[in-house]
Chain A
Amino acid sequence: MMNRHQLPDTLLMGYAAGALPEAFNVVIATHVSLSDEARARLAAFEAVGGAVLDDDAAEMAEDSFDRMMARLDMLPQANARVTEAAEGIFPAPLADYVHRDGRSIRWRSIGAGVKQAILRTDGRASVRLLRIPAGQAVPDHGHRGTELTLVLQGAFFDGNKRYGRGDIEVANEETEHTPIAEAGEDCICLAATDAPLRFKSLIPRLAQPFFRI
């Protein structure tokens, strides 16, 4: 099953609920930064969280109120904005991860001209940048878990569907696909998975343990 452009409700709800691995959160926060539609749907799922929170209460400690009020004068004012809009192809939440160590991206070749750069997250899933040369196919691969692929630059085709900047493809166990980068410009994607990908051709499979695909 595949869904073009749109993120399934369950993933947006999972993100709103704070139930997803950090690697997925990076992709979804980036996608929402690029899509009004996803932003509107996310707001609705967060509103469900508001209703859940508002529905039930626990007893506060006896001195809680006094301690809180005493604390107020010591709290510094927060900055006017939480995130600054980023320049270039990386929206702010992603730029944060890409430039975390103040270094430029370290692309590593994974064969067939495709390069990747793994981003550091909490380890329950993995997320990487992929750079696919214009016109180049990514080896056919299936998945054991859920894979999210968000286009940041250029475009790719999967079958007759085209995915451009901001579009997201969700693949799962039943999906066998061969994304092909559109001619003209290298395609840069952000891809997260909660299981290792399995490539069908021999060499990428052998390379898998070395390259953490």
Chain B
Amino acid sequence: MSQDQSETDWAALVMRVRDHQDKAAFAALFRHFAPRVKGFLMKSGAGDTLAEECAQDVMATLWQKAHLFDPTRASVATWVFTIARNRRIDALRKSRRPEPEDLPWGPEPEPDQAEVLEMQQDTERLGAALAQLPQKQRALIERAYYGDLSHSEIAEETGLPLGTIKSRIRLALERLRHHMS
């Protein structure tokens, strides 16, 4: 959604962290994502100090688990979001989060560049589609992701237009079926 999203190849930086423990690449990722994670956690109800610590933990996880990131299945922002969300559930809600079973195949050492590009373009489309939603609806979706709405409130209030994510679902399903066959 922000401008640098399209200007910087975040996925390539994560690959450099994975393959070379590249600290310069990590530093660039930290400068971009740590403040976003902190902002996300503060909007989810964390105070400044806790959000700061948790943002550091989330970035530490990125450093440690770079080999689990699959740029053909998610953008870096999405992957960081899932780590931040789980940290929030753990630290703020004091609850556990069961995760789906991993796919039987892991991320490719050399991901298909066309697939990575397709995923990045779809991410930009999604960001643009969200930005164009009416302000009120967008604010509700944001609140849902800050963990501010209950399930019934999500059901009643957000009404995320399915068109916004349709291409993303189709893309993900094609990839899964391709791997299965």
Contact = CB atoms under 8 A, between A and B. Distances in A.
Interface of A: 8-11, 13-14, 16-20, 22, 24-26, 29-30, 32-33, 36-37, 39-61, 64-65, 67-69, 71-72, 75-78, 80-86, 91-94, 96-97, 121-122, 146, 194
A51 B5 CA distance: 10
A51 B89 contact: no
Contact of B147 (A17, A36, A48, A68): A17
Contacts of B52: 60-61, 64
Contact of B101 (A47, A91, A97, A146): A91
Contact of A18 (B74, B78, B97): B97
B102 interface: yes
11 contacts: A13-B160, A17-B144, A19-B154, A22-B95, A50-B74, A68-B34, A68-B59, A76-B64, A81-B106, A84-B102, A93-B100
Contacts of A67: 56
Nearest to A29: B98
Interface string B6-29: 000000000000000101001100
A71 to B, nearest CB: 7
A28 to B, nearest CB: 8
Q: For this complex, into which size category does the number of interface residues on chain B fall?
A: 35 or more
B35 A41 contact: no
| Dominant secondary structure at the A interface | helix
Contacts of A44: 165, 168-169, 172
B4 to A, nearest CB: 9
Contact of B2 (A17, A46, A54, A69): A54
B74 A47 contact: yes
B36 A19 contact: no
Contacts of B146: 52
B176 interface: yes
A60 B126 contact: no
Given A51-B123, A59-B35, A26 B98 contact: yes
Contacts of B94: 122
